[in-house]
Structure 1
């Protein structure tokens, strides 16, 4: 159940809130399936299929946002509208105008929507009230921001802020590559991306490629800055750090998997995995912030 991505936000450490308080705050924002005329909907669901919106192990909390979206391609609407327009032209003696076509498509959408297929997806949120972290398992920052808006809507005066560090990730990663010297506790892996900031927006990517210091320095000297860098923390977790402070492609390494118990039932295994994940990632985030010069307080 490890998160694949971390969009990281800051909370007070410790944050004095209980799972019951969060549960009560998010109850009005529970997920409700699309009605016949809804194109999409979203809301909070129980992460483990019970009636609890907040799943807790120790003091660590897990939330889950559910999405449902109807699949009604524009090409289908246009195809039906074209056929209806021909019938309408024969009936009224002239082609439908723009207003008529717009109204026709709106009627067709309303007619087809109840029969449209729907897809569901979900995004998990980890709240660490002990160390003051909130992380969303989303690759895109925009999705994480939408989830944060839902939390702020439900939890009155939620004290969450962006995570601000003293040294920008792009600048720090570029320095690590230029000096061929990763920060303590981290190693640089074989994937990276360097981008120029000029009009050309030129990029160079290394994938599963040994990073030769001289090659990298040449690109940096040419005006490129590191925007993505694959790294490993403490020989335990690998990840990709981006210039926007997102942690992506998170993967637990063998040294952690070796400690996984094999005799647990599903619930015990989930609890053990969640405990292991939150414990390791809380330390990783703290070390990463330290490597980036610590937090920058506005």
Structure 2
């Protein structure tokens, strides 16, 4: 199903009727990290199944709802659970909420995920700021008719992740006494975890971590000139030469242990930033 401007506007209008607050930052909360949305103040909870044209999340651990309110004084819209290519949705469907966020006024996106670490200097429980990505999903959410109202036919992806937001996140981590990594996120389709040979290939191509999300949403956000900050939670080591089996339950357990540091980082990033970091229109 191809996304149309009318669909985006209808979803946005329905959300406006339920929540009066105009968000400026969108949050996509990955596996095991969705509890941050429970800390949003003046919150309005909207189930995906009630929002026109929204898919529904089928992954264990994803609550499947939008939360609109304020976090550290910043108007936000958070997704408690995202959609994935491996669930059978099209690339346009899994990125549809990002389009709606932009329509509602979000000029920035914080996108998070749980992932496997391919860089031998990383370890489970580390947080990583995404510098760049490799799209190895086999798909692209911008294929098809271009939505000219939101962005150009051929958007540039050379600086997908906003340098100022990356720098700000590292400053916030330093103030918190956190040591965080930085690197390249390699996105694959899933739902299978990677073979040893595949992991070796992705690492040789330049990937530091591997996961099944984030990149499609970032590409669509970049298409719409949104500011983007990507944060990965490394839940297991995916070293091709010494790979060990991993289950989704184990991923969730490690993400849960890292959750306090993750929440503290995101909250501090929001609290300590100049509002112009988040609201691009104020910079223009």
Q: Which has the higher contact order (CA 8 A, sep 6+)?
A: 2
Q: With structure 1 as the length reference, what TM-score do the two structures score?
A: 0.28
Rg larger for = 1
Q: With structure 2 as the length reference, what TM-score do the two structures score?
A: 0.29
